[in-house]
Homo-oligomer: A and B are copies of this chain.
Amino acid sequence: MDFRQLRYFAQIVESGSLSKASRTLFVAQPALSQQLAKLEDEVGKPLLQRSTRGVTPTESGLALYHHARFMLRQLEQAMSIARQETGGVRGMVSIGLPATTLSALGLPLVRNIRTKYPGILLNVVEGMSGHLSYMMRLGQLDLAILFTSDVASDLTAKPLLDEELFVLLPASSKLVSRRRTNVTIAEAAALPLILPTGTHGLRRRIAAEFEERNLTARVVAEIDSLSLLMSCVHEGMGATIKPISALQMEGARGRTWRALSVSDARLRRRNYIYSISSDRLSPAASVVAAELRDTAEQLVTSGEWKGVWLVG
């Protein structure tokens, strides 16, 4: 098994045909056939169902496809990881991030801070936004990303970005036609959904939108762990409804996903950078706040953090 084979295989699955994939990859179709046969021989099971109208992945093929996508993404990242960069502010800074936001920028942020400002001791707290807000008010956090601008007088909330909620499912999922880039909320309700339990704000928001239309979510699993939830969705167990940043957690990254907007119920939320008043921020916390904004802007501008728009 090799990257070339995985790359060919992934393109074949996405194209639905060796011939089409060969045109996309600029490789002769028999070459794909041979590499595919080699891969199947190695796996010991058919990965594709062949017909004179093209191919569809078997269950094993779909499973491998998702994993192949993940590995190819890791390969892409290997280059930038190999090219590494490496600066002198000191102090302890604590920052609270909700799970999906943490997925999008947690590791890039910590990486940037650790390499640029090794003297900063960064304390990252992952939590639900209600709890982070509470910690912020108690002064337990220097910074946080939260979703309301309703702040106490000694805190400031600066808009960072808006993010839209999407129906998320794996790229080759047959639950929704490949042509579709959006769904109605009724269609969303008909999907097998993997969602957090009812105590989550996101779940409540979704449930409220459904109830407003006499719909109920068709939930096949309730998972209060973003990493596990996304792993499950990625494995084709169902779809979910979240901001696209949920796709950016480790193991979910890459173009194996589809994010379908909900056309008749525009679900979105605004992210704010919370901090104590800037005149009372330590130099270290100021640096981290700036780095947080920079990291977010880079991720948004580069398109790595999708389904969001910078504001402020």
Contacts and interface: CB of A to CB of B under 8 A. Distances in A.
Contacts of A3: 1-3
A269 interface: no
Contact of A197 (B44, B74, B110, B125): B125
A176 interface: no
Contacts of A64: 78, 81-82
Contacts of A70: 74
Q: Which of A63, A223, A228 has the most CB of B within 10 A?
A: A228
B45 A63 contact: no
Contacts of A114: 221, 232, 235, 237
Contact of A77 (B67, B94, B223): B67
Contact of A221 (B81, B110, B127): B110
Interface in A47-81: 47, 59-61, 63-64, 67-68, 70-71, 74-75, 77-79, 81
A45 B175 CA distance: 45
Nearest to A118: B220
7 contacts: A3-B3, A6-B78, A60-B83, A102-B225, A106-B227, A110-B237, A126-B225
